[in-house]
Amino acid sequence: MVNLTINGLRVSVEQGATLLEATRFLGFPIPTLCHMDGLSPYGACRLCVVEIGQGPGTRLVSSCTYPAEEGLQVRTASSRVLRARRMVLELLLASCPQSKTIQDLASAHGVRRQRFRQEHEDCILCGLCVRMCSEQMMAGAIGFRNRGEGRSIGTPFDAKSEVCRLCGGCQYVCPACQLRCTYTEPDKAICGGCANLSAPCVEKERFDDMMCYLNPCVACEIRKD
């Protein structure tokens, strides 16, 4: 077991546990966008940053990837943490204003304005869909491409993937396009924007409903019973 202090409370967690697991065990709320139980930690959204260390040498680390260390001092809601989180949320809001998840997070953190030029992007490149596809669906149909400004998610060469079973797992986990994926009007239901993939049920003859996450599917409205 590893002993550490979180917000002044001493806690023992198992060797190999992350700071996020330890803090959530104690019940401290930490916002995340790119983390999901069952998928490997990635550390892309940086919303889950916490302050570690003591004195002048403290620093912020992403709690979802940082392992719990013996004697570590962790603060989950110091002013430095909150300031950083607000700035990340402001950046997110400026890029993806239409995501309900991001709107809710921003509101909960008191981010009521954003000072950057408004963009309308769909994907925040959190990588949940990529990990879902390879780690849970064992397909590995989509991945990251390019870097920096040009980074995107998609299938190799943007060609229709041969290993994709059209399960819809990628859409199910996407935090940015939830609003549209649960839209009530069927013809507007599938945006196709997330992960640059076409909708799972567009080609019905190839559709393998065994692995479909959407039940009932918002697009084809087939219910599995």
Partner 1 sequence: MKRLTSIGEFAAFQNRLSAARSPHIPTLVIPAGACGQASGANELIRAAKREIGHRQLEGRIRLRVTGCHGFCEMEPSVLVEPDRTFYPRVKPGAMARIVEATASGQVLGDLLFTDPATGVRVQKQDDVPFFRGQTRTLLSHMETTDPLRIESYVANGGYSAAIKVVERRDPRWVVNEVKASGLRGRGGAGFPTGLKWERLAQQRDGKGKFLVCNADEGDPGAYMDRSVLEGNPHSIIEGMIIGAYATGADTGIIYVRNEYPLAVKHLSIALAQARELGLVGRSILGTNFSFEIDLVKGAGAFVCGEETALIRSIEGKMGEPRQRPPFPIERGIDGKPTAINNVETWANIPLILRNGAEAFARTGTPGNSGTKIFSLVGKIRNTGLVEVTMGAAIQSIIHDIGGGPSGKARIKAVQTGGPSGGCIPAERFDLPIDYDSLAKAGSIMGSGGMIVMDENTCMVDIAKYFMSFLKDESCGKCFPCRKGTQRMHEILEDISKGQGTREQLELLEELAGAVKDTTMCGLGQTAPNPVLSTLHYFRREYLDHIERKRCPAGVCRDLISFSIGETCDGCHACVQVCPEGAIAGKKKQRHVIDPVKCVKCGACQSVCKSEAVFVA
Binding site for partner 1 (CB under 8 A): 41-46, 49, 59-62, 65-67, 69, 80, 83-84, 87-88, 91-92, 94-95, 115-117, 124-127, 143-144, 146-151
Q: In what order do the strands lie in the sheet with 49-52?
A: 9-13, 2-6, 73-75, 49-52, 59-62
Of 28 and 66, which CB lies nearer to partner 1 in the complex structure? 66
Q: How far is the CB of 133 from partner 1 (least distance, A)?
A: 15
In angstroms, what CA-CA distances link 70 with 10, 41, 76, 209? 11, 20, 17, 46
Q: How far is the CB of 126 from partner 1 (least distance, A)?
A: 8
CA torsion angle 135 67 127 152 (round to 10): -130
Q: How far is the CB of 95 from partner 1 (least distance, A)?
A: 6
Cβ neighbour number for residue 39 with a 10 Å cutoff: 17
**Six token digits for residue 190:** 């599938």
Cis bond upstream, residue 29 (ω within 30): no
Of 117 and 188, which CB lies nearer to partner 1 in the complex structure? 117
Of 43 and 193, which CB lies nearer to partner 1 in the complex structure? 43
Q: How far is the CB of 44 from partner 1 (least distance, A)?
A: 5
Of 128 and 189, which CB lies nearer to partner 1 in the complex structure? 128
